[in-house]
Amino acid sequence: MDFGIAGRKAIVGGASAGLGKACAMSLAREGVDVTIVARTLANIETAAEEIRAATGANVTPVAVDINTDEGRAEVLRACPAPDIVVNNSGGPPSGNFRDWDRAAWIAALNGNMLGAIFMIKDTVDGMIARKFGRIVNITSSAVKAPISILGLSNGARSGLTGFVAGVAREVAKHNVTVNNLLPGDFDTERHKSNTQALAKVQNRSYEEMRAIRIGQVAAGRFGDPAELGQYCAYLCSVQASFITGQNLLIDGGKYPGTF
């Protein structure tokens, strides 16, 4: 299927590794010019080379913290009129809510709620004017089924989810869609460190904890980041123009509910 987005311009956050890189790779395969962001210069340059080599697309790496005003401004200087924005960065630390003070909560809200909201604020009016826009926020399955050691994530991402539910309906008539992708378990560095943290809390080995987590996924495996990247590219396609304001789980059937 031709997704109809060749020549479009995208900003993809948290894209030197894991899910963000997979989204950038899939969009680049569709002929989208991608501006990819991560904090570590060497890693984002390496990712840009890899995506260029695999797809032949125009790839612009930007090394900033995308959740700061200055970082976002630098990204928007590199890509001033994006048609597609994939809001993604690192998740907050795991832990026990009794140990989190106000500063920990503010940092989580900034990283997993406000960063995406400000990026939407900075880009959505241009999309409305151009009559095409696709915004995909990478949130988490924890929005539907909270993970106790990820309380900062459960809370902050739920705030973003509430905001998106409203704004998506406001901009839909301009062919601008806003959706949240909710990853379950994907084999990335972040997922490995969460498994290590869980293993410690439960006094198990990493291998034992990993096997338990795989056993919780109906598909019997963790997801490949490329699978999420492909879903993201579809949500950014012309064909997906009637999908908006949705929270879309991609979790190999782990979530046990009917709805």
Number of residues that bind ligand NAP (CB under 6 A): 30
Within 94-113, which residues bind ligand NAP (CB under 6 A)?
A: none
The secondary structure of 209-238, three-state, reads: HHHHHHHCCCCCCCECHHHHHHHHHHHCCC
Give the nearest distance from C-beta 127 to ligand NAP in angstroms.
21
Using the minimum distance from each CB to ligand NAP, give the nearer residue, 14 or 82: 14
By CB under 6 A, name the one of 16, 55, 94, 123 that touches ligand NAP: 16
DSSP H/E element including 189: helix 189-201
Quick one: which segment of 37-45, 50-58, 93-101, 165-173 binds ligand NAP (CB under 6 A)? 37-45
Q: Quick check: 138 and 20 in contact, CB under 8 A?
A: yes
DSSP state of 99: G
Quick one: which segment of 13-21, 126-134, 160-168, 241-249 binds ligand NAP (CB under 6 A)? 13-21
Q: Does residue number 224 form part of the binding site for ligand NAP (CB under 6 A)?
A: no
User: Which residues in 11-50 are b (16+ Cβ under 10 Å) and which e?
Assistant: bbbbbbbbbbbbbbbbbbbbbbbbbbbbbeeebbbebbee
Q: Does residue number 155 form part of the binding site for ligand NAP (CB under 6 A)?
A: no
Name the site residues for ligand NAP (rule: CB under 6 A): 13-20, 37-40, 43, 65-67, 88-91, 138, 140-141, 183, 185-186, 188-191
